[in-house]
Chain A
């Protein structure tokens, strides 16, 4: 089984709809991240969490919210989706013990299309 899983893998939705993307990990890591990937822009950090009581905004948090339900689960929500949120979304984890090297482990991604 994969260490970092994301559901759904693909989603098509309409403008104004609320969408939730889910991430689960079995690595036992404390830190979890949400990124979006756009062609030519690389990955940009949306939100990150260092433990279940710690949530922080990243580079591009506007229009998004997150919930850390447990150490292993970190969800990303789009309260009212808009077309420019069409992108590939990645969840990642890293180990607090390994924070010095910040090796992050990525899920397979969720491709979201907002019409």
Chain B
């Protein structure tokens, strides 16, 4: 079965420090992978997506993610955290179910940025 696992329900970093949010996927076919961000009291917003082109994907707000097939990973990084990055982040994989594509979301990682 295709699925997504996010390691760490909470991650805390200092402002200016590296952000690393982990996502591992399980898929029997080449996956399409996504990272979404949810700011407090808002809906989900697409950060970036991997669709089998370049393995290093750049997104909005300075985030990027690298697709590593050998590790079945799609970790999200940002070199220097800002206070405004505090939010919940969701990794998702596209699956084929009942003859149509759907998204399966991970359980989310809440990022806390300390001053």
Contact = CB atoms under 8 A, between A and B. Distances in A.
Interface in A53-98: 56, 58, 90, 92
B73 to A, nearest CB: 18
B77 interface: no
Interface in A1-31: 4
Contacts of A102: 32, 34, 94, 101-103
Interface in B24-47: 32, 34, 36, 41-46
A103 B98 contact: no
Interface in A40-56: 40-45, 48, 50, 56
Given A58-B102, A101-B32, A107-B43, A40 B90 contact: no
Interface in B8-63: 9, 32, 34, 36, 41-46, 49, 51
A41 B103 contact: no
Contacts of A56: 98, 100
Contacts of A4: 43
Interface residues of B, number: 23
Nearest to A31: B100
A42 B108 contact: yes
Please classify the interface of chain B as helix (H, G, I), strand (E, B), loop, or mixed, using the class held by over half of its residues: strand
Interface residues of A, number: 24
A34 interface: no
A40 B44 contact: no
Given A56-B100, A102-B101, A104-B103, A40 B9 contact: yes
A44 B9 CA distance: 17
Interface of A: 4, 40-45, 48, 50, 56, 58, 90, 92, 99-109
Interface of B: 9, 32, 34, 36, 41-46, 49, 51, 90, 94, 98, 100-103, 105-108
26 contacts: A42-B90, A42-B105, A42-B108, A43-B90, A43-B105, A44-B105, A45-B102, A48-B102, A56-B98, A56-B100, A92-B44, A100-B32, A101-B32, A102-B32, A102-B34, A102-B94, A102-B102, A102-B103, A103-B34, A103-B46, A103-B49, A104-B46, A104-B103, A106-B45, A109-B41, A109-B42
